[in-house]
Amino acid sequence: MLHLVNKNVKQIEKSGIRKIYNKVLNDPSIVNLTVGQPDFPTPENVINAGIRSLLEKRTGYTTNSGLPELRKAIASFVDRRYGLKYEPENEIIVTIGASEALDIAFRTILDEGSEVILPAPIYPAYEPLIRLCGAIPVFIDTRETGFKLNAEMIKTKLTDKTRCVLLPYPSNPCGCILEKEELQEIADLLRDKEIFIISDEIYSELTYGTRHHSIAFFPGMKEKSIVINGLSKSHAMTGWRIGFALAPKYLIEEMLKIHVYNTVCVTSASQYAALEALSADLIDVEQMKEEYQKRRDYVFDRVKSMGLDVSWPDGAFYLFPSIKNTGMSSEEFTEELIEHAKVAVIPGSAFSTYGEGYIRISYASSMENLVEGLNRLEKFLENINIKMDCLNSFFK
């Protein structure tokens, strides 16, 4: 009876990230540099807050949109960090990770045939969510602009069907950010247009040497923007599944309908842990960020020294080097790297067709793993170069 399954679901491709991750998950001989899974533990006081809520038997349903005190903490957090002003009572929903926040945002604003403009290469989860709504992703190739979307590029893709522009910065897989001036130009373009903006800012706390800016900060933009954020990456809380959506009241009221019928509310213990995480600027979080920056610098220098072309990442915890000079496809390169060097990375093709010719390396791993993994990658590339030199000599 497969023919009776929803056609939009059947057309969705399995995640290229999880395909590789699951393949190598239980092989201890492989240095795994695939997923964006922080290798740090959740801060101890955050864990204890979750445990305490269980011991105190605070295990019932919470308010659908999240604990009132947690929403207040979220409002305070985004205000002091990014200058964003949101009312805790009616402009914030606590969600099951940023993933649910994205899902209910797209389902609220998209109709059949709506178009969503988004940069590519890009994290693979957006396209399926858009297509499940019967909407159409309109990719913009950013490979010649340092993987950054800009106002002029958006302008060339606008049609009467454009419903939304997606801004996923800091970027996964590229690590690039949008500077304040770049966001200002996008705001100026879209301010007077009936087009929503979804700004996925899950990596907003992980920027190095520069400050994150949100499109919702600019005059006239909060009214049409849905800001997505959460604690998975910044606070090493991936398994707690805490995200949040921030938007004007008229949108939150509609998004909340989907959230209520889908999940009722987020797990209570996770919400109490999140409340602790956001109640202060934790030292642990700053220490994580400092360590990521050291790793970023190390991995970037090593990859450059191997002769791979790579853009400087200002945020997140990924590098996206080109492997075009090897003459291999990204999937072929990844499979060969796993088989012969015992190193796992993600093929660029997982991030849309515009990611072909690249690989994503996650440096959310220990320095020991990074050193070993990059040593193996370097040796692998040397062997490829030797083979290519032999072939070139043979055909001369």
pLDDT tens-place string over residues 318-368: 999 999 999 999 999 999 999 999 999 999 999 999 999 999 999 999 999
- For residue 229, the cross-strand partners are 244
Beta strand pairing call for 346-347 and 359-362 = antiparallel
Q: How far is CA 29 from each of CA 48, 341, 344, rounded to the nearest angstrom? A: 34, 10, 11
Alpha carbon distance 37, 365 (integer Å): 8
Q: What is the DSSP letter of 358?
A: B
- If you ran DSSP here, which 8-state letter would residue 63 be given? -
- Euclidean distance between CA atoms 240 and 50, whole angstroms: 10
114 sits in which H/E element = none
**Crossing angle (nearest 10°) for helices 249-263 and 97-109:** 120
| Tokens 């690989």 found at | 359
Residues 222 and 248: their CA atoms lie apart, in Å, by 7
Give the predicted TM-score (pTM) of the model: 0.94
- Amino acid identity at 158: L
Residue 174's nearest CA partner among 303, 36, 313 is 313
Query: Is residue 119 within 8 Å of residue 145, measured between CB atoms?
Result: no
Q: Report the candidate in 79, 124, 115 with the shortest Cα–Cα distance to residue 246.
A: 79
Give the residue among 171, 165, 138 at the shortest CA–CA distance from 151. 165
Q: What is the mean pLDDT of each run of 10 residues along the chain (396 residues)?
A: 84 79 85 93 96 98 98 97 97 98 98 98 97 97 97 98 98 97 98 98 96 97 98 97 98 98 97 95 89 98 97 97 96 96 96 97 97 98 72 50
Question: What is the spatial distance between Cα 189 and Cα 183, in angstroms, rounded to a whole number?
Answer: 10
Distance, in Å, from the CA atom of 238 to the CA atom of 35, rounded to the nearest integer, reads 11
Exposure string over 104-128, b if 16+ CB within 10 A, otherwise e = bbbbbbbeeebbbbbbbbbbbbbbb
pLDDT of residue 163: 98
Contact 76, 99 (CB under 8 A): no
H and E: helices and strands count for the chain: 13, 12
Radius of gyration of the chain, Cα coordinates, nearest whole angstrom: 22
The phi and psi torsions of 164 (rounded to 5 degrees) equal -155, 150
